[in-house]
Each structure stands twice: as structure tokens, then as C-alpha cells.
Chain A
Amino acid sequence: MIEIENITKRYGETAVVDDVSLTIAPRTVTVIVGTSGSGKTTLLRMVNRLVEPTSGAIRLDGEDNRSLPGYELRRRIGYAIQGHGLFPHRTVAQNIATVPTLLGWERSRIDAKVEELLTLFQLDPAAFGPRFPHELSGGQQQRVGVARALAAEPKVLLMDEPFGALDPIIRAKAQDDLLAIQKHFETTIILVTHDMEEAFQLADHIAVMDKGKVVQYATPSEMLLKPATSFVESLIGVGERPYRLLAIAPVASAVEPGAAEGAPISSALTQREALAELLWSGRNALPVAGPDGAIIGKISLEGLARRAAGPT
């Protein structure tokens, strides 16, 4: 649990972050969204005290984050940034081993951890461990950056536009991987982005920031159905609302009884993907297959249209 309480950061007269309070549940992904200059990065950097707040407090599992020196705090919190920030003079393995080495782990434990993480991120440890960062592609560098952030098994991972430098296809893959890894390690993630699409894709909770204030902090569906301000509404994009609503729910929750013709759709897909499938196949309904492949019902255009409708 991360409790952010009345936190404020001023540079001179201007408050970059202005009296923000958030409570972040453990093992969830919270995405902070906002335009540039909204204070989202500053808020993130106050969690691991790369920026010291002017007033207010942040508690991690009830413990004030000022109760130990900044560098020790940061060794317990993962940190990954846009452009990855890998150390160009150290190999991939050495980069990943940075924090465990700082913490004084034993050599064998470090090696095992490096190998585990590289494997988890689909990088062959023997091939990639000894390479230098500049010998990797952008996507590979980014994965190493996240692996380094996770090396000391932190309970909390802070990410500042981690996928900003990636092309769309690699970015989508990286986002899926991140969710899988978050489930695997049960990490609490706070991620900063300006990309609303990414926020809806990843978040359990979204905090929208504008001019230093959190204007809305809610689950994706709440935010879609009840945007707090016109700013949130414009950030979501009026034309995108129904599709976003479908995109955050799985097919499984929209299954209707009955049978339908055509190739079955997996119940694990999002409803938005199901809608696309329906439109493309030119049918009004398609059968839905459960995780074991058995047909468990159908999904229809009509049903999806009802679910995509906003509050009346």
C-alpha cells in the first residue's frame, strides 16, 4: 500500500505538484496520465525521493519514506525510465546486477537472478548477458532497463514513460509482457505516461493530472462513464469512448446463451476485439469458446452495442 498524503512540490512560486493525495492498493497497476508539465513525473519522483516534497508525506506500507536515507529507499523501489538509462560502459548482465551488487548479495545469487530475469524477458542469458547496451535493439534495451529495475525484487516499481521510445508494435508487446511480469512478481506498479491508450491498456486505476492537481482518480470504467471534468473527457477522446469501454472488459463477461454460426472467438479477448471480429466477418453473432476450447455461448453485435452505450 502506498499512501500519498497532501503532497506538494513548489519551485519558487509555482506549485508543480499541488496538494495531491492518492492511495494505491498493493499488487495493482496505477497509471498517472497528464499533458507535459502537469506534474506527473515530479509526483512519481517524489515516491522514491529523487525529488524531495515541499510538504506532505508519502508512506509505503505505513512507513514514512523519509525514515531511511534516499539511496537506501531507492534500492527497495524499482525505477525504469524512458530511453532505459542503461549504463553504456557496463554489460547487460552487469547492468541488471547493479542493485543486487549494491545490496551486497552473494555472487551466485546475483548470477541466478540475472539469468532468471533475462530468461523471463525472452533474452538468452548466454547471448545477451555479456553484450553492451549499444549492441541491443531499442526494444531489447527497454526490456533490460525493466529487468534491472526488478533485479532486487522490489515490491514497488516506478516507471516514467517506459515505452515512450518504442515503435507501436514493440510497444504493444512490451505492455503485454509488463502485465504478465506484474502478475508473476505481484509488484505494485506506478507508471507515468501521456498516452491514454496505454493507460487504459495497463491500468487498474488511472490518475489524471492537470496543472499539478489530480483531477480524477478512478478505475478505467468509472473514468469512462463519469469523467470528472471536461479535461478528462477531452483526454479520453469523445470519439473513443465506446471502444475504450469495450476494450477494458473481456468477452467472457458478455457471453449470451444460444448458438451462432462461424469461427468461435476466445473468451479471453477483449470485447473490442470481438466487435472488430463481428464487423469484419459480417455476422450479427459468433460463438464463444472457453479456455478449454468448448463453446460456452455466443456474442452478438446487439449485446456489445448495449455494453458500449454510455450512461443515460
Chain B
Amino acid sequence: MIGVPGSACRCRRRADTAGRESGLKALRFDKLGAIIAALALGGAFIAPFATFRANRIVAGEAKTIIEALPLNWSTGLLLVVLAAAAVAAFRSPVPLRLVAFAALAGLAFAIGVAAGFLTPAGNSYARISPASGFWVMLFAFGLLAADALTRLRPAPFVRIAVLVAVLAFVGILLLSGSWDGLSLLKEYASRVDTFWAEARKHVTLALGSLVAATIVGIPLGILCHRVTQLRDGLLGVLNAIQTIPSIALFGILIAPLGWIAANIPGAATIGIRGIGVAPAFVALFLYSLLPVVANTVVGLAGVPRDANDAARGIGMTDWQRLVGIEFPLAFPVILTGIRIVLVQNIGLATIAALIGGGGFGVFVFQGVGQTAMDLVLLGAVPTVVLAFAAAIVLDAVIEMAKPNNRQAEAR
């Protein structure tokens, strides 16, 4: 689960040369781009763009781009899609392929416009949602953007900047109200308070358990590294915990925590209860321990023997060696463990809803219960965005933490 940084670099370099060549040669098909273009065109011309429903739960009516948008908007969107598809299909210079972002922005604006256009005036029951064509185009241009970015090999801080820019763009769209006509936002509007309360709980669960697991896991990992007898046993137990399905672990913890709340004075006042946040927090903490401990062990074991021997040979104490040599060298690997945990926790925290622990899972499971797709999305989309953003940020941080990473690549 730790990845092979070396091989990733190699392939990126190859992609880079491919990009350079494409600038020189005449128009040729780009295999990947051709598939993306086909997807995008299919999404634009064959599949419906938006779904109109008379109210929240009845079956919907599919609308194509032409039907869903005013004429100038539909023509404009189709032109943007055609242009982006053309850029994708042929071997074009990589920076030009970033036109995918323009297409994505076009889609984002258009779906908001469609919501306003399709909703009959004064009708507050009608629901407009993106339909398959929208999602297919979103996927296709998302692929194109991801591919272009991958080929450009942006520096870590550039990747974070791109993420921030995209999030800011979405944020502005949300605040400007141009998406307010969408069914998803109507679900949000009727749950503003609970949404943010659940969001807070979700983040608290995912981040809090990570912090706790890091505080406990790194020393445990160091201990495992130094005391070999302990290593197999502890890693074995942590591994076994990982095999218990999350729903079950959440459930199993209800009993001991309930007992603690009832029998240990003061426990209940600091929030320990049989159901709710406490068992979810403990379960996430337990799941998080393995990646943190295991990566700490792997990272420390990967410290060059020579460096360790030299550190001892020139008179470092065990503590100085740990702080000055071993830990800095193992840090990128430990960070990789933390990244795995954070992304995993953001996903798993959705399950906390099943035992009353709150989080975005509340909307997902309510939505599943009511067969209300938009409510499911209200829970799922923020979860995915959070996990995705966390992965990008931590990947960038890991790359920056690797010693002399940049110089190493330049050679």
C-alpha cells in the first residue's frame, strides 16, 4: 500500500516525452483522448443532460441539452464540448488539453442554468437533477483534466493550488446561488443546520481519531522497531482488527463503552456513551492504528544501515539517533500511513451514522431509506470531496517531505 515512487517517476517522464513529441508531429489521434472524446460526445448528444421531476420522489423526465437549456446556452455548451473533444481526440500540446477545465466550468454553469430554465415559475415542488449525460461528460472531462495534469507533473504546491482554485470556484458557484435550483441544493436548503452539524461530526470523527492514532501509533511503531518480539504480535492483533467489518466493530464497541459510561464516574460527562460518537471514534482509532504503526516500522526499517551504524559509531545516543537520523528518514513513509488512515477514516466515518454517531452517513442512509437519490448525494458528495482533497493535500505534503526529492529527480 506504500507505492513505488521510482516507477511512478519513470512513467511520468515517459509521458512527458510523449507530450513533447506530440507538439512536433502533425495531427494524430491520441488513443486515450479519442475515448474521452467519444464519451463526451455520447454524453452531450445521446444521453439526457438533466432530469425533471414534478416532485421529490416521482419518476423523472429526461431532458437533452437542447431541451434543458435556453438556445444560446445550449449552443455555447455544445461548442465548448465539441472544441474540448477535438483537443482531446488529437495529439495536442499538453497545456492546451487543460481546456478540460473550461469544459468542466461550462458544465457547472450550464447545470445551474438548466435548473432555472426547467423549473416552472412559482413551482417549489419541481426537482431538477443532473442526468446521465451530465455525469458522463463530467467524468470524461475530469479524466481529460486528470490526464493533462498527470502529464504536466506539477510541483506539489501547484497541485494544492489547483485544488484550492477548483474548490474556490465551486464555493463561489454555491454562494452565488446559481445552483440553488438544483434538487441537491434544495435538499441542502431544508437541512442547513443539520448539514453543518453532521459535517462537523464527520470531520471530528475522521480527524480526531487520526490524531489519536498518530499520537499512540508512532511511539508504538518505534517500540515495535526496537523490540522485535513485540512486533509480530502487535501487528498481528492490529491486522486482525482490520478484518472485523466496520459495522460490526462499531456495534461491538457499544457494550464496553456503555459499561464504562455507566460505571466509571465522570466518563459520561466527557461524552463517553454506549451509542453515538464514542464507539465510532474508538473504532476508527483502532482501524487507524495499523497503517500508522506498520508504516512507522517499515519506515524505520528502511533507514540505511550504513547511516545508522555511522550514527552510532560517531557517538549519538539512541535518542539522538532516533530524533536526528531515523525519524526524519522514516517520516515520508509514516506520512504515507497517515494519508491512508485519513482517506480511509473519511470514508468509514459515514458508517458511524448506523450507530448514531452522526456524520455525512446520516444523509446517505436516510436517502437510501427514502430512495431519495439527491439526499444520498448530499451525504456522498461532500464525503468524496473531503477524501479526495485530503488525498491530494497529503500526497503533496509527502512529496515535499522526501529529502531532496526535487534535486533527485533533476539528475
Contact = CB atoms under 8 A, between A and B. Distances in A.
Asked if A and B form a direct contact in the complex, defined as CB atoms under 8 angstroms apart, the reply is yes
Interface of A: 48, 50, 71-79, 81-89, 98-99, 102, 132, 134-135, 145, 148-149, 158
Contacts of B313: 48, 50, 74, 79, 81, 85, 158
B329 interface: yes
B316 A132 contact: no
B5 to A, nearest CB: 14
Interface stretch (B99-107, B176-184, B301-309): B301-309
Interface of B: 304, 306-317, 320, 324-325, 328-329, 403-404, 407-408, 411
Given A132-B403, A134-B404, A88 B307 contact: yes
The 6 closest A-B pairs by CB, nearest first: A85-B310, A75-B315, A79-B313, A74-B315, A85-B306, A89-B403
Most chain B CB atoms below 10 A, which of A74, A79, A89: A89
Contact of B314 (A82, A99, A132): A99
Contacts, number: 78
Nearest to A84: B306
Contacts of B314: 74-75, 78-79, 98-99, 102, 148-149
6 contacts: A50-B312, A86-B306, A89-B328, A98-B314, A102-B316, A132-B403
Contacts of B306: 81-86
Interface centre among B306, B329, B407 (most CB of A within 10 A): B306
Contacts of A78: 314
Given A89-B403, A132-B403, A74 B310 contact: no
Given A132-B403, A132-B407, A135-B411, A85 B307 contact: yes
Contact of B320 (A102, A148, A149): A102
A26 B403 CA distance: 41
Contacts of A134: 404, 407-408
Nearest to B304: A88
A77 B312 CA distance: 12
B316 A81 contact: no
A78 B315 CA distance: 9
B307 A71 contact: no
Contacts of B324: 87
Contacts of B308: 85
Nearest to B306: A85
Contacts of A99: 314-315
A73 B411 CA distance: 39
A149 B403 CA distance: 23
A86 B307 contact: yes
Contacts of A87: 307, 310-311, 324-325, 329
Given A85-B308, A89-B329, A132-B403, 19 more contacts: A48-B313, A71-B315, A79-B313, A81-B310, A84-B306, A84-B310, A85-B306, A85-B307, A85-B309, A87-B307, A88-B403, A88-B404, A89-B404, A102-B314, A132-B404, A132-B407, A134-B408, A148-B310, A149-B314
